[in-house]
Structure 1
Amino acid sequence: MGHQRLFTAALALVLTVGPAASAGATAPGRGEAGDAGPGFGARALQALLDGVQFGVIIAITAVGLSLIFGTIHLINFAHGELVTIGAVSAFFLNASASGPGWHLIPAALAAVLLGGLVGAAVDLGVWRPLRRRGTGLINLFIVTIGLSLLLRHVVLVLYGTRPGSYVQYDIQQTIELGPVGITPRDLTVTVLSVLTLLGVALLLQRTRTGTAIRAVAGNRDLAAASGIDVQRVVLVVWILAGALAALGGVFFGLVEIVTWDMGYKLLLLMFAGVILGGLGSAYGAMAGSLVIGVVAQMSTLWFPVDLQYAWALLALVLVLLVRPQGILGRRERVG
């Protein structure tokens, strides 16, 4: 349970030092609690739909965080910056006055590729040398905080503080699906997010690379003794984590706005989803993130929108009281 206590401490640190703006950060489709309009049933269905959309976006970003922890037990505090890099790089290619003005689709693909390259560069340039030196997990965690601050302020210098939005798919007519409504943009983001998560699941279950990742996550030493190139698997995990984080950043920037610290604001919910689902479990991160997103949105039916993250974290605490290992986590012996 030592790793779980360390990860929970990281979540507490995010809560402590996180920006005050994160409590009021907006999520897809949310509205003020108690707004006049449709009946409670229709509003509940709308909140559920918005929660699923928000949850799958969190899940895309949280899966990589969980895979990194599962393979090398690193709590990557800088993971939120990979989300920001994806969103900002797509914005530069799509909507920046100094950019090439690409359509959002090729810009998003380029951002995902860049996210994977940044993930690989961080592993090869920082984490692999530190692992070879036998650096402790606590020291590595401190390094992730420093790397997070460095990357965040590099983005701040290059991007600035002014929020931005992508050129395409900005204003759209809502599609009415019975009592709920959703724009084609949000529907596309939700469907693509679900398909991405299914693709990750198929990768982990049906491919040799996925089998190697699960083997390293299950028992690193046994995997190495079985002939698996552990360092190569870890590199693949970092590439996958960076690409997924960048894709999640593009999606989040598409349904909301692009800001220099958007990934850091989302980091709290990524940690919560990983812990709730079960440490080191990619499927757990998906399930936990979906629960976090739905609870956050459904809470706005009764309580002010500024408290929705608090209720999501309360759900996390309640689940862990009943099932300490998380929804899909495995029990660990102490000692």
Structure 2
Amino acid sequence: MRNFRLLVPLLAVLFVALAPGTAAAQGDEVVTGPGFGARALQALLDGVQFGAIIAITAVGLSLVFGTTHLINFAHGELVTIGAVVAFFLNISAGLHLVVAALIAVLIGALVGAILQLGLWAPLRRRGVGMINMFIVTIGLSLLLRHVILIFFGTRPQSYREYDIQRAIDLGPVGITPRDLTIVLISVGLLVGVALMLQKTRIGTAIRALSSNRDLAEASGIDVNRVVLVVWTLGGGLAAIGGVFFGLTEIITWDMGFRLLLLMFAGIILGGLGTAYGAMVGSFVVGIVAQMSSLWFPIDLQNAWALLALILVLLIRPQGILGQRERVG
């Protein structure tokens, strides 16, 4: 886990080098109407929405790391697959976005299961080391991203429904029905994952495997089955997160890659290997990113979120909900 934290600066450099100017394209506006308090509340609400999207995509990535210790650099492409599949079903096939999103979730879950059965499980059986598998995830990420580029193209797109809506006024803040629905569904899914981990047998097995793989296997837990469930769940959550991200922003061929560093930040900030930590850390990252736009250019919002990550780790190296590691 300590090696995972050391990768954060490297990942940041990779993102800056490979994807310059990846912040959402939004024009700077001179706010003359609402006061600072109203703008702060609006930024807080936007941060909760952004954090919910990061959390719904980061939970699967955190569960995969917790059960397999694999740093999956290709997880962002699962997010893009969900958004792109829903787009083609919505625009080309003429399906309503709700139906298209449900099918995209199923396809995302299927892709996660196929990756586990066809790639990661065979590599594990052959004793491939974690560093080597991490390099494979980078190659898989590049492959999937450019396959998506071939079919989708470079032109940003948007869904047919829920594109332009009038905001609902909630006192000093406003939120569209679309964004409110995204927040409610995301929070509901996160609560559902938490209940699954606490109240079901498969959830108990996932937590046991995350704590001690050898002990879980000795206790009779089918490790391969649990890992398959985790990959399937992670793929489905990434896909629905991609649909939500495409609704609030735009659909692009590299949208998951742009969100990936914030997923890593949320997971590390909350505490490695814990799904609850990924949820809490993602909300913190989303809120900090949006609140920073009150004082600084919006192009720097991701940088301030990563600065918050560094400051928290200086005070609490194990993250918000992580447990301190014993050295020696």
Matched, 1:104 2:97: yes
The one of 58, 68, 74 equivalent to 1:72 is 68
Amino acid at match of 2:238: A
For residues 226 and 237 of structure 1, do their structure 2 counterparts lie closer, same or farther at Cα, with a shift above 3 Å needed? same
C-alpha separation in 1, matches of 2:6 and 2:118: 27
Q: Normalized against structure 1, the TM-score is what?
A: 0.95
The answer to whether the Cα contact below 8 Å between 1:58 and 1:290 also exists between their aligned partners in 2 is: yes
Match of 1:87 in 2: 83
Matched, 1:124 2:117: yes
The answer to whether the Cα contact below 8 Å between 1:80 and 1:267 also exists between their aligned partners in 2 is: yes
C-alpha separation in 2, matches of 1:256 and 1:115: 20
Match of 1:291 in 2: 284
C-alpha separation in 2, matches of 1:20 and 1:221: 42
Match of 1:16 in 2: 13
Matched, 1:266 2:266: no
The answer to whether the Cα contact below 8 Å between 2:24 and 2:249 also exists between their aligned partners in 1 is: no
Match of 2:274 in 1: 281
Amino acid at match of 1:319: V
Runs of 4+ that moved beyond 3 A: 30-34
Match of 1:185 in 2: 178
Q: Which runs of 5+ in 2 are unaligned?
A: none
Amino acid at match of 2:236: A
Determine helix, strand or coil for the equivalent of 2:150: helix
Match of 2:245 in 1: 252
The answer to whether the Cα contact below 8 Å between 1:60 and 1:244 also exists between their aligned partners in 2 is: yes
The answer to whether the Cα contact below 8 Å between 1:300 and 1:308 also exists between their aligned partners in 2 is: yes
The one of 225, 228, 232 equivalent to 1:235 is 228
The answer to whether the Cα contact below 8 Å between 1:33 and 1:305 also exists between their aligned partners in 2 is: no
Render the CA deviation track for 1:195-237: whole Å, top value 9, x for unaligned. 0100110110111110000010010000000000000000000
Render the CA deviation track for 1:113-172: whole Å, top value 9, x for unaligned. 000000000011110001011111110100000000000000000111111100011111
The answer to whether the Cα contact below 8 Å between 2:77 and 2:256 also exists between their aligned partners in 1 is: yes
Q: How large is the Cα RMSD of the aligned pairs?
A: 1.1
Match of 2:52 in 1: 56
Match of 1:333 in 2: 326
Amino acid at match of 1:331: R
CA shift for structure 1 position 34: 5.4
CA shift for structure 1 position 14: 2.5
Render the CA deviation track for 1:224-268: whole Å, top value 9, x for unaligned. 000000000000000000000001000000111100000000001
C-alpha separation in 2, matches of 1:112 and 1:200: 15
Determine helix, strand or coil for the equivalent of 1:20: coil
Matched, 1:37 2:33: yes
The answer to whether the Cα contact below 8 Å between 1:117 and 1:239 also exists between their aligned partners in 2 is: yes
For residues 7 and 25 of structure 1, do their structure 2 counterparts lie closer, same or farther at Cα, with a shift above 3 Å needed? farther
C-alpha separation in 2, matches of 1:80 and 1:9: 20
Matched, 1:226 2:219: yes
C-alpha separation in 2, matches of 1:11 and 1:32: 29
The answer to whether the Cα contact below 8 Å between 1:33 and 1:301 also exists between their aligned partners in 2 is: no
Amino acid at match of 1:246: A
Q: Which runs of 5+ in 1 are unaligned?
A: none
